[in-house]
Amino acid sequence: MNKLPYFPKNTIGIFDSGVGGLSVLREIRNQIPDSPLIYFGDQIHVPYGPRELEEVYSLSKVITQFLLGLGAGIIVVACNTASAAALYPLREEFPDIPFVGMEPAVKPAAEKTNTGNVGVLATPATFQGKLYNSVVERFAKNVKIYQNTCSGLVQEIEKGNFTGVKTRHILENALYPMLENKIDSVVLGCTHYPFVIPLIKEIVGPEVAVIDPAPAVAKQTMRILSNVDDSGTDRNQNHITLLTSGSIKEFQTFIDMIEINNYKIHQVKWSQNRSEINIVHEK
Ligand code: DGL
């Protein structure tokens, strides 16, 4: 049987619609090497971006309950879409749990821009959410923002297509009009997109900054974790438990393309009415 390890109080629970949040997990592992990590990729429901915010919220709530049930002491919503749909209500629903969420890094881009033009790549749900609109309202009033939802890109990245024709086509279509409008930074407002940073850089050239919020999110996680009472926990446990609601084989193929060590993959299954998640034990 495929047994899960013990999760002490300093365990960080991280989730995304699929593999995107692994770009955040990588940074968390770099900055916080001594906490166990549980990662949930909801690949059976990817993409979240075109779904209604209400649906993404209910998926996020069940995933959060599941991660807390396993023993996570802090939850990182490593998905801009889920953060847009669920971060505020989850904080209300679980007032004792520290949450870290994603928001498109419009603030640093607006502070640094010389041309006054900034590009943002994110999902339709993220652009609709209150979180994004409040960030733009507060920090980017005097900046012109060019948005694109890169339709289909999340699915290509899920397949591990980081450089192929389709991925390039989607990115060129999104970025060329922005370049014509003299953007000098591109904000990655979806956690899947850091996996195609080399291609984005190739398209936009060296003059345009590509902003990935993952390092800042990992830093924030570290800060919040330092307030979690984890007395009595063994600091040497740094295993990574990767959970997918999709196919283990496809998930493994993706993991092999990126740098993650010391992990075990398990499959999970949603109940039919989507109110519960269970670990699938291997026979
Ligand atoms: N990685 C996600 C995000 O940051 C979700 C993408 C999707 O599932 O559409 O928005």
pLDDT in the model for residue 1: 44
What kind of architecture, by CATH, is found in domain 12-102+216-282? Answer: 3-Layer(aba) Sandwich (3.40)
Catalytic residues: 79, 190
Q: What is the pLDDT of residues 61-104, one digit of tens each?
A: 999 999 999 999 999 999 999 999 999 999 999 999 999 999 89
Q: What is the pLDDT of residues 14-31, one digit of tens each?
A: 999 999 999 999 999 999
pLDDT in the model for residue 228: 80
Q: Which of 45, 188, 191 to mutate to test the pocket of ligand 1 (most atoms within 8 A of CB)?
A: 191
In the chain, the percentage of residues whose pLDDT exceeds 90 is: 89
What average pLDDT is seen over the chain? 95
Task: Pick the atom of ligand 1 nearest to 79's CA.
Answer: 4
CA distance 241 to 39: 6
pTM for this predicted structure: 0.96
CA distance 84 to 215: 19
| pLDDT at residue 233 is higher than 50 | yes
| pLDDT at residue 283 is higher than 70 | no
Domains 12-102+216-282 and 106-212 equal at CATH topology level: yes
pLDDT in the model for residue 6: 85
DSSP symbol at 193: G
CA distance 120 to 271: 36
Ligand 1 in contact with 45 (CB < 6 A)?
no
CATH number assigned to the domain with residue range 106-212, chosen from the 4 options 3.40.190.10, 1.20.140.10, 3.30.300.210, 3.40.50.1860: 3.40.50.1860
Ligand 1 in contact with 203 (CB < 6 A)?
no
Reported confidence tier of residue 9, pLDDT bands at 50, 70, 90: confident
In the chain, the percentage of residues whose pLDDT exceeds 70 is: 97
Task: Determine the distance separating the centroid of ligand 1 and the alpha carbon of 283, expressed in angstroms.
Answer: 32
CA distance 2 to 24: 26
Task: Determine the distance separating the centroid of ligand 1 and the alpha carbon of 186, expressed in angstroms.
Answer: 17
| Residue type, position 27, single letter | E
Average pLDDT in the 131-150 region?
96
Ligand 1 in contact with 43 (CB < 6 A)?
no
Average pLDDT in the 172-193 region?
98
**Domain residue ranges in the chain:** 12-102+216-282, 106-212
Average pLDDT in the 43-64 region?
97
Task: Pick the atom of ligand 1 nearest to 189's CA.
Answer: 4
